[in-house]
């Protein structure tokens, strides 16, 4: 088995390699002066089962192009099986025609990855599970919920009875309910969110009882931070005791970290390391990263040994 890292998240790639007791395969990824990506795999991969770790996080297009070109290089070097390990699958929010004459970019990205030569995809908390159907190759979608549950239980061990899981929008209810169930059936509340235009969100209502409870917002993506900051303020206005947020993918674009720091209602933000943390994130006293290296490493090991991946979540 070989493990190759793109440039998007070297910290996570190294942590996965460590869990697997493997070394990252030597590969040179550099840019021509006009910014074209060039890749040279510097070890023999003929007949190998190769896993390429690359999140298509910001700069999304550069990281996507890197992934495609690494896959192409591996395919032309006769790797026997290529798995695109995408801890964060960018473009996932463009999973349907949002209006007339708009693209379904998540499907296009799936086509590109398949055409480049990937034999399978391993990803984490896809924005919508149906995106697996955009691929005509096997796709394993992992869930961070188990690791998040453990973190919540250690953070709230003395106050578990007062927990409430909150979905920040209607689309996240299934995910939030899964977390509430894993926490032993704690109450679930839902934020009725409206998005008048891209990048702007408004809270219309809170569905469920949150008064006096420690609310745990759970989302797949935090981008501008608007959804979670607005939800935290609305929950505090409804009498919540405290609000913290757990999110799988910390996209955190623009001044999102600053916005979180300035939102007093949101006590804490915990994101996984599916996306490399920025300096602002690391410096913030309100934020924390939770590693999914063990989860991804174990899934890679199971795929390499043809073992069940779904049983990871039993
Ligand atoms: C939307 O459906 C996603 O699950 C997230 O809620 C959204 O991407 C968060 O975006 P922002 O942080 O910009 O409000």
CA 270/CA 232 separation, integer angstroms: 14
Active site residue 160: no
Choosing from 97, 160, 193, 282, which is the catalytic residue? 193
Separation of alpha carbons 58 and 178, rounded Å: 29
Q: Looking at ligand 1, which atom is closest to the CA of residue 201? A: 14
Nearest to 303, CA basis, from 62, 110, 123: 123
Going from N- to C-terminal start, the domains of the chain cover 2-143+294-313, 145-291
User: pLDDT value at position 204?
Assistant: 83
191 C-alpha to ligand 1 centroid (Å): 12
Q: Is the CB of 87 under 6 A from ligand 1?
A: no
User: Which one is the CATH code of 145-291: 1.20.810.10, 3.40.50.1820, 2.60.40.10, 3.40.50.2020?
Assistant: 3.40.50.2020
Return all residues near 132 (Cβ < 8 A) that are at least 6 apart.
Answer: 126, 139, 141
pLDDT score for 161: 87
Gap between the Cα atoms of 104 and 252, Å rounded: 23
Whether the CB of 172 sits within 6 Å of ligand 1: yes
Distance in angstroms (rounded) separating the CA atoms of residues 172 and 246: 13
Tokens of 219: 């989302």
Could you report the average pLDDT of every consecutive run of 10 residues in the chain (314 residues)? 98 98 97 97 98 98 98 98 98 96 98 98 96 98 97 89 95 96 96 85 90 98 96 96 98 98 98 97 98 98 98 91
Burial (CB count within 10 angstroms: exposed 0-12, middle 13-18, buried 19+), residue 256: buried
Q: How many angstroms separate the CA atoms of 199 and 105, rounded?
A: 18
Q: Distance from the CA of 120 to the center of ligand 1, in angstroms?
A: 27
Bridge partners (DSSP) of residue 192 are 205
Chain-centre distance of CA 73, in angstroms?
Answer: 26
Residue 222 near ligand 1, beta carbon < 6 Å: yes
Q: Are 148 and 176 in contact (CB under 8 A)?
A: no
Tell me the C-alpha distance between 293 and 19, whole Å.
7
* pLDDT attached to residue 200: 81
Among 170, 222, 266, the mutation site with the greatest number of ligand 1 atoms within 8 A of its Cβ is 222
Cβ–Cβ under 8 Å, residues 54 and 86: yes
The beta-strand segments (E) located in the chain are 2-5, 27-31, 37-41, 49-53, 81-86, 120-124, 139-142, 163-167, 188-197, 200-207, 214-222, 242-250, 268-272, 287-290
Give the Å distance between the CA of 265 and the centre of ligand 1: 18
Ligand 1 probe mutation, 167, 223, 232, most atoms within 8 A of CB: 223
Q: H-type helices in 117-196, by residue range?
A: 145-155, 173-182
- How far, in Å, from the CA of 127 to the mean position of ligand 1? 10
Examine domains 2-143+294-313 and 145-291 and report if their fold is the same.
yes
Cβ atoms of 242 and 215 closer than 8 Å: yes
Angle at 93 between CA 59 and CA 118, to 5 degrees: 65
Q: What CATH code would you report for 2-143+294-313?
A: 3.40.50.2020
Q: To test ligand 1's pocket by mutation, which of 227, 253, 256 has the most ligand atoms within 8 angstroms of CB?
A: 227
DSSP string covering 38-56: EEEE-S--TT-EEEEE---
The label of the residue with tokens 């916005």 reads 259
Q: Taking a C-beta distance cutoff of 8 angstroms, is the pair 201, 221 a contact? A: no
**Whole-number Å distance between alpha carbons of 279 and 149:** 26
Tell me which residue has its CA closest to atom 9 in ligand 1.
222
Place of tokens 């001044």: 255
Determine whether the shortest distance from the Cβ of 225 to ligand 1 is under 6 A: yes
């Amino acid at each position: 088995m070989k493990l190759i890292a793109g440039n998007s998240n070297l910290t996570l790639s190294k942590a996965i390699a460590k869990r697997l007791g493997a070394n990252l395969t030597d590969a040179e990824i550099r840019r021509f002066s006009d910014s074209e990506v060039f890749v040279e795999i510097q070890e023999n991969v003929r007949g190998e089962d190769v896993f390429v770790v690359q999140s298509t996080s910001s700069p999304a297009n550069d990281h996507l192009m890197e992934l495609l070109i690494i896959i192409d290089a591996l395919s032309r070097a006769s790797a026997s099986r290529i798995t695109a390990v995408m801890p964060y699958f960018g473009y996932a929010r463009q999973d349907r025609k949002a209006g007339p004459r708009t693209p379904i970019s998540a499907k296009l990205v799936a086509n590109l990855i398949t055409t480049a030569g990937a034999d399978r995809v391993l990803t984490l908390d896809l924005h919508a599970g149906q995106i697996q159907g955009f691929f005509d190759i096997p796709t394993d979608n992992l869930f961070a919920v188990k690791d998040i549950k453990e973190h919540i239980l250690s953070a709230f061990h003395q106050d578990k009875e007062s927990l409430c899981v909150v979905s920040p929008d209607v689309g996240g209810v299934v995910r939030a309910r899964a977390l509430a169930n894993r926490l032993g059936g704690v109450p679930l509340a839902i934020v009725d969110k409206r998005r008048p235009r891209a990048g702007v969100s408004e809270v219309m209502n809170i569905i469920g009882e949150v008064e006096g409870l420690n609310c745990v917002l759970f989302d797949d993506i935090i981008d501008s931070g608007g959804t979670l900051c607005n939800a935290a303020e609305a929950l505090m206005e409804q009498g919540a005791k405290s609000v913290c947020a757990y999110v799988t993918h910390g996209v955190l674009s623009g001044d999102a970290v600053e916005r979180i720091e300035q939102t007093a209602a949101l006590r804490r933000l915990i994101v996984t390391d599916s996306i490399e943390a920025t300096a602002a994130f690391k410096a913030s006293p309100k934020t924390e990263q939770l590693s999914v290296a063990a989860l991804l490493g174990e899934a890679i090991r199971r795929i390499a040994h043809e073992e069940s991946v779904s049983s990871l979540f039993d």
